[in-house]
Amino acid sequence: MSHENQGGEYPELYVRFLCLFNLERDYYTCHDVMEELWLEEGRDLFYQGLLQTAVGLHHCRNQNTGGAVKLMTAALNKLVSYPDVFMGIDVAKLKQDVEAYLDQLQDCARQSIPHDDLTIEILDPILKRLVHENKG
Q: 27-43 pLDDT, tens per residue? A: 999 999 999 999 999 99
pLDDT digits 0-9 by tens, 44-76: 999 999 999 999 999 988 888 889 999 999 999
Q: What is the pTM of this model?
A: 0.86
Q: With beta carbons less than 8 A apart as the criterion, state whether 21 and 54 touch.
A: yes
**pLDDT reported for residue 1:** 41
CA distances 40 to 32, 34, 43, 53, 124, Å, are: 12, 10, 7, 19, 23
| pLDDT of the residue at 2 | 45
Asked whether the predicted pLDDT for residue 5 surpasses 70, the reply is no
- H or E segment and range at residue 12: helix 12-18
Close Cβ partners of 113 (under 8 Å, ≥ 6 residues apart) = 60, 63, 65, 68, 104, 105
Quote the distance between the C-alpha of residue 49 and its chain's center: 7
CA distances to 19, 30, 109, 126 from 22, in Å: 5, 10, 27, 16
| Secondary structure E strands in the chain | 85-86, 89-90
Q: Phi, psi at residue 86, to the nearest 5°?
A: -155, 140
Length of the chain measured in residues: 136
Rounded CA-CA distance 111/10 in Å is 40
What pLDDT, on the 0 to 100 scale, is given for residue 104? 84
